[in-house]
Amino acid sequence: MELVIQPNAERAAWLVASLIARALREKPNLVLGLATGRTMECVYNQLVRMHREEGLDFSLCRTFNLDEYIGLPPTHTGSYRYYMNHNLFDHINIDPRNTHLPDGTAADVKAACRRYEEAIEEVGGIDLQLLGIGADGHIGFNEPLSALLSRTRDKALTPSTIAVNSTLFTDKSEMPKRAITMGVGTILDARSAILLVTGADKADILAQAVEGPITAMVSASALQLHSHCRVVVDEAAAVKLQGQDYYRWIFENEPEWADYHAPQA
């Protein structure tokens, strides 16, 4: 695991988008795992800008989202399919047939979960998985006590997750209480991962996830086991980290980060 501290949320999102863009240029048929939420909107804004201004090509890219609510049709403004179309897919040259989300309206949810795992396997697995972190340390909808080897499955959401996410619904009563999510094991199978964390409200859980013990109570802590995971955070989220000085030294001195020191374009 590598941890990079950036001055602010905007710069952190720019760095994550730049890492994704580099991976896509190196492998045009990249299989990209995607996340949703407010934190990711800045990343997708940057990717759209890179597509429009720099010609970043998504035509061969394939995507798999972490999760989707159970019971919401794709046209519902609260669904993650709607979110992805609105924030990214409708603004880049990706083939819609290459964009995948779990089927939250499937008659047989468990069969849909198995098909999702199979679809990921059929394309050779995920090359780069983008992640955010929940207030209780969940990645995807892998709520506390999720098995660290779990696969794509249906999950009951915690009351705290429902309370936070319902603020994104015009009618809070429409917020689902269940979702389909990639499992922790599915996420760990990705060849590389990037976790983006911003804001002072995530400082405590970030420190637990990256510097604390690996535990099913904080599913993001399983990323400590990943052989190629980069964690990008802003100063506000980094305040509780014990290794801040070392993380800054690595970013300033390691050759792999040299191209990312210039002021943001």
Per-residue pLDDT reduced to its tens digit, 215-264: 999 999 999 999 999 999 999 999 999 999 999 999 999 999 999 986 64
Pick the catalytic residue: 67, 68, 127, 234? 67
Q: What are the φ and ψ backbone dihedral angles of 230, each rounded to 5 degrees?
A: -110, 135
Pick the catalytic residue: 136, 154, 174, 204? 136
Average pLDDT of 120-146? 97
Active site residue 254: no
Residue 180 pairs in a beta bridge with 68, 154
Locus of tokens 């046209």: 75
Nearest to 84 by CA among 10, 106, 94: 94
Active site residue 53: no
Active site residue 2: no
Per-residue pLDDT reduced to its tens digit, 190-207: 999 999 999 999 999 999
pLDDT for the residue numbered 265: 44
The secondary element (H helix, E strand) that includes residue 155 is strand 153-156
Per-residue pLDDT reduced to its tens digit, 163-193: 999 999 999 999 999 999 999 999 999 999 9
Average pLDDT of 124-141? 97
Q: Where are the domains of the chain?
A: 2-260
> What CATH architecture does domain 2-260 belong to?
3-Layer(aba) Sandwich (3.40)
Q: What are the φ and ψ backbone dihedral angles of 241, each rounded to 5 degrees?
A: -80, 135
Q: How far apart are alpha carbons 193 and 231 in whole angstroms?
A: 8
Active site residue 143: yes
Q: How far apart are alpha carbons 92 and 125 in whole angstroms?
A: 23
Pairing assessment for the beta strands 31-34 and 62-65 based on DSSP bridges? parallel
Per-residue pLDDT reduced to its tens digit, 34-75: 999 999 999 999 999 999 999 999 999 999 999 999 999 999
Pick the catalytic residue: 127, 143, 189, 234? 143
Average pLDDT of 145-168? 96
Q: How far apart are alpha carbons 181 and 140 in whole angstroms?
A: 6
Q: What are the φ and ψ backbone dihedral angles of 181, each rounded to 5 degrees?
A: -140, 145
Pairing assessment for the beta strands 192-197 and 31-34 based on DSSP bridges? unpaired
CB 217 within 8 A of CB 145: yes
**Where do the H-state alpha helices sit in 63-173?**
80-87, 109-122, 159-165
Pick the catalytic residue: 51, 138, 189, 234? 138
Whether pLDDT at 18 is above 90: yes
